[in-house]
Amino acid sequence: MIRIFKVLVPASVFALFIADIVLMLASYTAATYLYNGGDPELFFLYEGGFQKLIVPMSVILLGLFFQDLYADIRVVSRLQLLQQLCLVTGLAFGVQALVNYWSTDWALPPGMMIIGSAFTLGALFISRLLFSSGIENAVGIRRVLFVGMSPTVVQISNHIQRHPELGFSGLGYLDAEPEPVSRSTSTRQHRLGSVAELSQIVDETQPHWIVVRRGLEVPPERVEDFLELRYGGVQTADAAAVYEMLFGRVCATELGIADAICSYVLRPDSFIANLQSLYSTVFGVLAVIALLPLMAMIAIVLKVTRPGPVLSRELRNGLRNSTFTMYRFRCMAEPGRGTGFERFLKRYSLDALPELFNVVAGDMLFIGPKADRPELAARMSQLLPLYKQRQLVKPGIVGWAQVHDDQVPLRDTLLDLEYDLYYIKNLAPSLDLLILFRAIRVFFRDRPGTPI
């Protein structure tokens, strides 16, 4: 796993990303040989070749991201993969045509664009088939041995079984009891023995990783065995840390109130938080200026089509349990009700545009946890002691939890809390940028009917 944008990315996905860049460079370089007998050295060194390749390569890479071709690199359907790659390549042609009107210094010659893009399409198609085949044949898979069983370990075990592209394969688990977990949290991992048999089972299975359940009571005579394995090159990790690495969220069930009181891990960096407030306000002002005509048009249509105020005013929780008034366009919240225009606004989350004024006022940020109603926040804080940690940062228009809603059929407060805690723990402009890209993908493709 490789950490990028404060998120751990599977090494296979990162390798595929680098391979895509290399293949595109090779494809467009080969196109220079076929286009008017071109010389690659002349093209790249004296004709601004690298500059001209920035636009098509960037568009293709972004297209692959928005088509989820880096989320799961297994090929389910070759025809679907080909269609997705054709769509991405066609988008690159469209953007290239617009760039050509703007500046020829940034545009590839048409013939080179056609030949290079055709080579790129074929190279990306073949490379993904090869990567998918490598995953199915367990190339480079790291074997994992679980020590101690718990619901967290079960989730980890089941997740790596469903996602071989992560590069892990479960060997089984060690525990005192043959059936330490309930049927509702069952796992397909087999019990290999007890903790006392650790050395023997490690010699037999040769694991690369050992994942230890938090709170596991290790007999004093077995501590030396763990130390020898650690110093011998076998990676040893806490189950909660592996859970965070795989799911991109903090395992709230493994944390206690002491973690919030005594640890600074779940608290945001004050410098980053102040920097985030600064650039959110700047971008908020620019967004209000750019979108003010659109908001004015929406307000006029709402005023004409239905009586009453145009904006809804809702009391929400802010930074450190403060409250503020959040603004939205007033639309019927119930599904199937309201005018067609209101349903259109809800479908594409355009009713949330007035929240930009909250960003300018400093009550909210572009990126952050969802702003809750005070009564809901109070109730959740009683049920989940760590829930108050969300109030250490300002709420946002969109957050790390919302861009992961597509993974959960129904909203789950505990899961949202885990995502929010991960965001607070890893607060950084780079993570904000990643959330923004994912939010754009949600807006245009994944769930256009779900307001953010």
Which bin fits 450, alpha (ψ -120 to 50), beta or left (φ > 0)? beta
Query: Percentage of the chain surpassing pLDDT 70?
Result: 82
- CA-to-CA distance for 372 and 228, rounded, in angstroms? 49
- CA-to-CA distance for 366 and 364, rounded, in angstroms? 7
The tens digit of pLDDT for each residue in 65-112 reads 888 888 777 777 888 899 999 999 999 998 988 888 777 777 788 888
Range from 182-191, 318-327, 344-353 carrying the lowest mean pLDDT: 182-191
**Segment 214-220 mean pLDDT:** 67
Contacts of 253 (CB under 8 A, 6+ apart): 151, 152, 414
Element of type H or E holding 323: strand 323-329
Using the predicted structure, report yes or no on whether residue 39 has a pLDDT greater than 80.
no
The tens digit of pLDDT for each residue in 163-209 reads 777 778 888 888 776 554 544 455 667 888 887 787 888 888 888 88
Tell the residue number behind the tokens 């969220």, with chain if given. 249
The tens digit of pLDDT for each residue in 136-148 reads 565 557 888 888 8
The tens digit of pLDDT for each residue in 147-170 reads 888 888 888 988 888 877 777 888
Provide the whole-model pTM: 0.79
The tens digit of pLDDT for each residue in 10-25 reads 777 888 889 999 999 9
Mean pLDDT score of the chain: 82
- CA-to-CA distance for 436 and 430, rounded, in angstroms? 10
Element of type H or E holding 279: helix 270-305
End-to-end CA distance of the chain: 30
Homologous superfamily, domain 142-247: NAD(P)-binding Rossmann-like Domain (3.40.50.720)
- CA-to-CA distance for 40 and 23, rounded, in angstroms? 15
Start and end residues for every CATH 3.40.50.720 domain found in the chain: 142-247
Question: Averaging pLDDT over each range in 91-100, 119-128, 341-350, which range is the top one?
Answer: 119-128
Which residue type does 184 have? S
Closest CA to 60 of 106, 14, 10, 116: 116
Closest CA to 164 of 73, 67, 69, 66: 73
pLDDT value at position 452?
Answer: 43
**Segment 342-365 mean pLDDT:** 90
- CA-to-CA distance for 363 and 48, rounded, in angstroms? 46
- CA-to-CA distance for 201 and 286, rounded, in angstroms? 61
Query: Percentage of the chain surpassing pLDDT 90?
Result: 25
- CA-to-CA distance for 363 and 179, rounded, in angstroms? 50
pLDDT value at position 321?
Answer: 85
Using the predicted structure, report yes or no on whether residue 325 has a pLDDT greater than 90.
yes
